Amino acid sequence: MWRKAKWIILSAAGVALMLAFSKPADTYFEVAKNLDIFATLFKEVNAYYVDEVDPKQLIRKGIDGMLESLDPYTDFIPEEELEGFRITTTGQYAGIGALIGVVNRKTVITHPYKDFPAYKAGLKVGDEIIAVDGVDAQGKSTAEVSTLLKGPAKTNVEIRVRRQGVKNELVFKIKRERISIRNVAYAGMLNAEVGYIKLDDFTPGAGKEVADATVKLKQQGAKKLILDLRDNPGGMLHEAVNIVNLFIPKGKEVVSMKGKVADWNKTYTTLNNPLDTEIPIVVLTGEGSASASEIVAGAMQDYDRAVLVGRKTFGKGLVQATRQLSYNAQLKVTTAKYYIPSGRCIQELDYTHRNADGTVDKVADSLKKEFKTSKGRKVFDGGGLDPDIVIEPEYLGTVTVALISAGHIFEYASKYCGEHPMQPDLKTFRLSDAEYDKFIAWLKERKFSYSTPLEAETKQLIEAAKQERYYAELAKDLETFKNKVEANKTADFTRFKQEITEVLEQQVAFHYALNEGQALVSMSRDRAISESISLLSDLQSYRSILTPR
């Protein structure tokens, strides 16, 4: 085992030396020296440590520790994890076309993708998977069940499920297909003139999907457009370029990459004739909009082609590339920073200059540089994209978060849909007060409990008083305060009734009609969408935002 490991390490040293050919001689020496130290250290630990060590695990921890000191995006991908990495980056695999998850210790279908095998066969959100091809799925991890469900295209799989509201177990025989996950989660008309596109990913085909959705919406009468990039973590760079190309002229710069290897520096420009350079556009952004999402939103802002509405974006201005390693492993490594048309880089965290304790700081406001859009509006680098219209965040109450985390919102939605199999008109769907009361009674039967931050801090305060020997003097006041905190907690189901009801309604709608159902229920309550519709109805105000002040 040691000889094989040593051969791998020395081979890596040779590769590292070849890659460092352009560096000074002292770098050659430091690379060789430290790899030799690592190899001899590994040999000594492997030979003399008191207990048996797993060489593979030990090396993996060393690799992970080394890469962790760089940034969160540089990763080692061993051969056994390669398929999962490909699925994440391409959105393609062979299987039934459904997400699964664990809800209250049950493995359930959480999202059957529309028009793929699971959906066409009749599997529904909330179906509990009992067995796959006769193999008991209960007690298995989602990774194990997922492996059972996946397989070569055109092969059959038998899935046995339990469904809320149905007495007997159901059996589905499904033929696997090549699955290509859609990037556009939903597209539809918000009113007679405003079209809406929710883009969730940037896997292959994202540009074409947005183009097709735009054409279809225009055919339905759309004269204005909202592109929703909230909670979109990004993906393939060229798909971001393709999407920008739909709305700005051919030959315009979209993004440039600049890194240590000069030969890899590249500028991406629009290569095709655009779809529409005039339609008014609002791009919705949030703290979950990152990477490719920021390229699209940033380029549209820099060319004054769209108004950004929402919240500041994540601030990921780093570019990754994959490099082939020995034994079919790969390295995903940060190779460059990207710069949008105004010249700004929107990377927020400075991983190069870490603090002594290893923490990373944001780029200080004093170090941010001013840039100009094509019309001369002021924009800044170093901290994500600032929206033109800011929508202040709305935070869910502790009780609502606890209900979601515990899976009770999801499970009650499954129960509700099982008891009401006929889908209602989701545009007007609302849960009644009586149904909310049934939900609260159901929670009590399940002995739902949760802890609020104030409750936890009260307990800490009482413990601190006991340790400091002040409790005897403060006992009465502390007990009074504790009782008030508990009374307030008891009232949470009344205080947050509207919020809990809305979250539950969205989940019920998703159970009925997936992304489309959720959109139909939630969009009328979405402040960012409402603000965008109002802005687009007043084109004078829209254009004034895009004009330098």
Among residues of the chain, what percentage have pLDDT more than 90? 66
Name the band, by pLDDT with cuts 50, 70 and 90, for residue 533: very high
Token couple for 487: 């009374």
- pLDDT tens for 42-82 read 999 989 999 998 988 998 999 999 999 899 999 999 988 88
- pLDDT tens for 205-253 read 999 999 999 999 999 999 999 999 999 999 999 999 999 999 999 999 9
Q: Residue 99: pLDDT above 70? A: yes
- Contact yes or no for 301/379 (Cβ under 8 A): yes
Nearest to 387 by CA among 524, 289, 245: 289
* Strands 378-380 and 281-285, sheet pairing: unpaired
Nearest to 363 by CA among 379, 380, 383: 383
What pLDDT score does 24 carry? Answer: 60
d(CA 109, CA 139): 15
What pLDDT score does 207 carry? Answer: 97
Handedness of CA 60, 66, 72, 76 (dihedral sign): negative
- The CA–CA distances, whole Å, from 455 to 160, 334, 397, 406 equal 43, 43, 14, 19
What pLDDT score does 9 carry? Answer: 44
Q: Choosing from 316, 342, 381, 415, which is the catalytic residue?
A: 316
Q: Choosing from 146, 256, 289, 291, which is the catalytic residue?
A: 291
Q: Residue 27: pLDDT above 90? A: no
- pLDDT tens for 289-321 read 999 999 999 999 999 999 999 999 999 999 898
Q: Residue 15: pLDDT above 50? A: no
d(CA 546, CA 377): 8
- Contact yes or no for 247/213 (Cβ under 8 A): no
Nearest to 506 by CA among 442, 498, 311, 108: 498
Among residues of the chain, what percentage have pLDDT more than 70? 95
Q: Residue 332: pLDDT above 90? A: yes
Q: Residue 22: pLDDT above 50? A: no
What pLDDT score does 93 carry? Answer: 83
Those residues whose C-beta lies under 8 Å from the C-beta of residue 440, and which sit 6 or more positions away, are 493
- pLDDT tens for 395-439 read 899 999 999 999 999 999 999 999 999 999 998 999 999 999 999
Nearest to 295 by CA among 341, 251, 264: 341
| pTM recorded for the entire structure | 0.86
Question: Is 361 considered catalytic here?
Answer: no
d(CA 190, CA 537): 12
Nearest to 500 by CA among 453, 549, 419, 435: 435
Q: Residue 112: pLDDT above 60? A: yes
Q: Which residue has the higher pLDDT, 325 or 383?
A: 325
Q: Residue 21: pLDDT above 70? A: no
- The CA–CA distances, whole Å, from 443 to 19, 403, 406, 418 equal 60, 9, 11, 17
- pLDDT tens for 212-223 read 999 999 999 999
- pLDDT tens for 456-487 read 787 887 887 788 777 777 777 777 877 787 77
Q: Choosing from 71, 302, 304, 381, which is the catalytic residue?
A: 302
Give the start-to-end residue ranges of the domains of the chain.
2-67, 92-180, 184-320+335-393, 395-549
- Contact yes or no for 175/65 (Cβ under 8 A): no
Q: Residue 283: pLDDT above 70? A: yes
| CB count in 10 Å sphere of residue 335 | 19
Question: Is 258 considered catalytic here?
Answer: no
For 455-491, the DSSP string reads HHHHHHHHHHHHHTT-HHHHHHHHHHHHHHHHHHHHT
Question: Is 127 considered catalytic here?
Answer: no
What pLDDT score does 516 carry? Answer: 93
What pLDDT score does 461 carry? Answer: 78
Q: Residue 18: pLDDT above 60? A: no
- CATH superfamily of the 92-180 domain: PDZ domain (2.30.42.10)
- pLDDT tens for 494-516 read 999 999 999 999 999 999 999 99
- Look at the domain 184-320+335-393 and name its fold: 2-enoyl-CoA Hydratase; Chain A, domain 1 (3.90.226)
- pLDDT tens for 123-139 read 999 999 999 999 999 88
